[in-house]
Amino acid sequence: MKQKRLIIRSIILVVMFAAIGYTLISHFTEDRGRVDRDDIAPNFAVVDTEGNLLELADLEGKGVYVNFWATWCSVCRDKMEHLKNNYDDYRDKGVVIVAINSGEGSTVIQRHMERFQYNYPLYIDRGNLVGNAYGVMEIPVAFLIDENGVVLDREIGPKSEEKVIQSLERLIPGN
């Protein structure tokens, strides 16, 4: 009788550990919920520092460079400078830059915008809803979305100005 209970308890323990292991592995794997190349970009709505609402669905027909960033990230600041340098040229070619900050307050973002004099709007991801929808786990990360709403690429990490320009070129509608 004792041996039978020991076997049953051992089986239950093994099943529990297997379930816990599966749960942990599936929850913490790198690609869980991550938007990637050839996916349809999930729609989102964000508000800029002025309170203006932007919805991705409203940008149909334009190339969209969605850049996730933070004020404390020096690599992000470099990339944002490259975007600032090229914003006007690519806006005229049908490319929209959507710079999304998550986790920081409006005042911090507004001061950052004034300090670095960005010529494009900075958006706030309240509650990290957009970052979660896109599976953002590191910054900077950019999603290149074509005029049909298809993700052309997901770019992680620092980029030279030349690389940023190459990405913006890919987003010109009709390319």
pLDDT number for residue 175: 80
Which regions in the chain score pLDDT beneath 70?
Answer: 19, 22-33
Question: What pLDDT digit, counting tens, does each position of 95-138 carry?
Answer: 999 999 988 988 999 999 999 999 999 999 988 999 999 999 89
pLDDT (0 to 100) of residue 56:
96
Query: How high is the pLDDT of residue 59?
Result: 96
Contact status, residue 134 vs residue 156, Cβ threshold 8 Å: no
Four-residue CA torsion sign, 8, 13, 16, 21 = negative
Q: What is the CATH number of domain 32-170?
A: 3.40.30.10
CB-neighbour burial class of residue 83 (10 A; exposed 0-12, middle 13-18, buried 19+): buried
Write down the domain spans for the chain: 1-30, 32-170
Q: What pLDDT, on a 0 to 100 scale, did the predictor assign at position 55? A: 95
